[in-house]
Structure 1
């Protein structure tokens, strides 16, 4: 592999001249530059960007830590992050944790010792001390979807309102036996969705029926599929099912069709975390849609603002909450 010295030798100039020409740090005669560029092309020289970034103290890279991106809201948020990062001159590195704290710790240490200027994370909440250490070392941290620590800026959705408005919408449709298939309650968005569901059910005078995933690594499709039997066992008059995430909704729809229960005539189905897949299904699913790409854009702007700011003049912490909007489709 060609080196800076090889380029200098072929162009018959000093190494320092090659460096100045390639980095545009000071004047180099146009004819000399022409010879240097010709040597670079002939040798297929590629500068050591890692070493360069270390010397400059900036990597122009953002680490993104998510539970997963398959059939989830995180895939669309990450798209928003990547597109905005590219506009701002940054690349992104994605790490999937499957909501496993050990995998998350491994990802964070890799980013900490690697080449990122900032980390955007949907955390399990089990590695907050490590995140604070990383932040203290000068790497910016911003939370997405899950606000685990008020000391870090965050971008989330109003999950409580999603649960509340979901129940109110179904109640207005005539539903009185509204079941809820939730995710693990120790993860903040699921806890807040339940809180909104609980409040609305109480106001409507309806009895709660809730099943939840007990594992972070659970199969959400299976949670939805199995949840139908559990809810029907609790209340054979079940007339509506709310799911926390679209993938659970897919399981619900499959289970109802196998039981020959008509959607939406007999049981209505809606998701509290809308994803684009909901509009592409054979039976399109009503959902509370989050502005995922806009959330990604906002996250990127916030992390870059932290990265670019002087250490003594960091921007104030921001906790941004996006509203979801109800999109009515065939399942209701």
Structure 2
């Protein structure tokens, strides 16, 4: 395994120069840096050894691991993280996993071997052992949006209540055939939403009409479009559709329009994870609004407090649950 001395020898510089270049602790001529970085690459010098030394001091950087930041609450969560981090003198590094556990693993390994003091993650739940190892190595870890492991602090929303309250709301509107286009049930929030939906449906004496997304990790819009068509095929009397996220709701609205089914007169639509885009559509969408920016700000503050804690064990674990609020718009 290559060492700093090996890098210094190949780059024909002193070990102290290599250390200064990699740590950015003082000026090193750009050409010299280029030689050092080339030597690091040639020797496959392991960054985790570097990171161990770097973490003796603070890098004031946070890794943010998200499944997506495109037209979802994750983008708004990241905004909240960045706002709070900047206030406290930290920068962020964003990794987009598409909910692929292999990609997530690669992202986590890059971050642990890089220049971050902590990691905020909306995890797939498939890399628990790696995350615990990262935590043990001295890098703070806080879960956001998804609480997959009780051993890490978390900031989430009450997804169970979102679904439960949405069903009750639709029932009060006179709906009796309430369909649900959900996400993949191997992800915690989708499990919680289904549990809330099922509980309320049973209390209302209605039939479960659910389609579980099979491609939600790739195309939420197509999930919504195809999902409502599947539900209508099995129950043409559906009078309302709940979707796990707004982009699914957009797909639902488009599919209903293509089938000449008017919204909301024939079928009402509600999203369980409100995003700002819902209020900008031609037919604005009713949603359970999740305080996504607040969630991001809270998680950023929690992880920075953990990073800067003087206690050997860090702050006590916190599991924060933020409530969503119903915003009625044109689709209901």
Shorter-chain TM-score range:
0.7 to 0.9
The offset of 1:57, in angstroms, is 1.3
Give CA-to-partner distance per residue, 1:86-130, whole Å, 9 cap, x none. Answer: 000000000000000111011000010000000000001111100
**Other-structure match for 1:303:** 303
CA contact (8 A) 1:100 1:216 kept: no
| CA distance in 1: counterparts of 2:55 and 2:104, whole angstroms | 28
**Other-structure match for 1:281:** 281
CA contact (8 A) 2:216 2:223 kept: no
**Other-structure match for 2:10:** none
The offset of 1:246, in angstroms, is 0.4
| CA distance in 2: counterparts of 1:55 and 1:325, whole angstroms | 40
The offset of 1:55, in angstroms, is 8.2
CA contact (8 A) 1:98 1:216 kept: no
| CA distance in 2: counterparts of 1:216 and 1:224, whole angstroms | 9
**Other-structure match for 1:144:** 144
CA contact (8 A) 1:99 1:216 kept: no
| CA distance in 1: counterparts of 2:241 and 2:59, whole angstroms | 47
> Secondary structure of 2:68's match?
coil
| CA distance in 2: counterparts of 1:130 and 1:202, whole angstroms | 39
**Other-structure match for 1:30:** none
The offset of 1:56, in angstroms, is 6.0
**Other-structure match for 1:175:** 175
The offset of 1:54, in angstroms, is 3.0
CA contact (8 A) 2:286 2:329 kept: yes
Number of equivalent positions: 286
| CA distance in 2: counterparts of 1:55 and 1:85, whole angstroms | 18
**Other-structure match for 2:88:** 88
Is 1:265 aligned with 2:271?
Answer: no
**Other-structure match for 1:223:** 223
The offset of 1:215, in angstroms, is 3.8
**Other-structure match for 1:28:** none
The offset of 1:310, in angstroms, is 2.4
Is the deviation greater in 306-315 or in 175-184? 306-315
**RMSD value over aligned CA atoms?**
1.9
**Other-structure match for 1:65:** 65
The offset of 1:315, in angstroms, is 0.5
The offset of 1:303, in angstroms, is 0.1
| CA distance in 2: counterparts of 1:125 and 1:197, whole angstroms | 23
CA contact (8 A) 1:66 1:122 kept: yes
- Larger Rg computed on CA atoms: 1
Distance 1:129 1:164, change over 3 A: same
CA contact (8 A) 1:264 1:331 kept: yes
**Other-structure match for 2:236:** 236
Distance 1:120 1:198, change over 3 A: same
CA contact (8 A) 2:178 2:240 kept: yes
> Secondary structure of 2:143's match?
strand
Unaligned runs of 5+ in 2: 1-24, 31-49
* Superposition map of 1:4-153 within 5 A: 54=54, 57-153=57-153
> Secondary structure of 1:154's match?
strand
| CA distance in 1: counterparts of 2:233 and 2:124, whole angstroms | 32
CA contact (8 A) 1:182 1:194 kept: yes
So what's the TM-score if we normalise by structure 2? 0.83
**Other-structure match for 2:192:** 192
So what's the TM-score if we normalise by structure 1? 0.83
| CA distance in 2: counterparts of 1:312 and 1:110, whole angstroms | 25
CA contact (8 A) 2:98 2:218 kept: no
**Other-structure match for 1:9:** none
Give CA-to-partner distance per residue, 1:152-200, whole Å, 9 cap, x none. Answer: 0000000000010000000000000000000001100000000000000
> Secondary structure of 2:226's match?
helix
> Secondary structure of 1:150's match?
coil
> Secondary structure of 2:85's match?
helix
Following TM superposition, the consecutive aligned residue runs of length 4 or more in structure 1 with deviations greater than 4 angstroms are: none
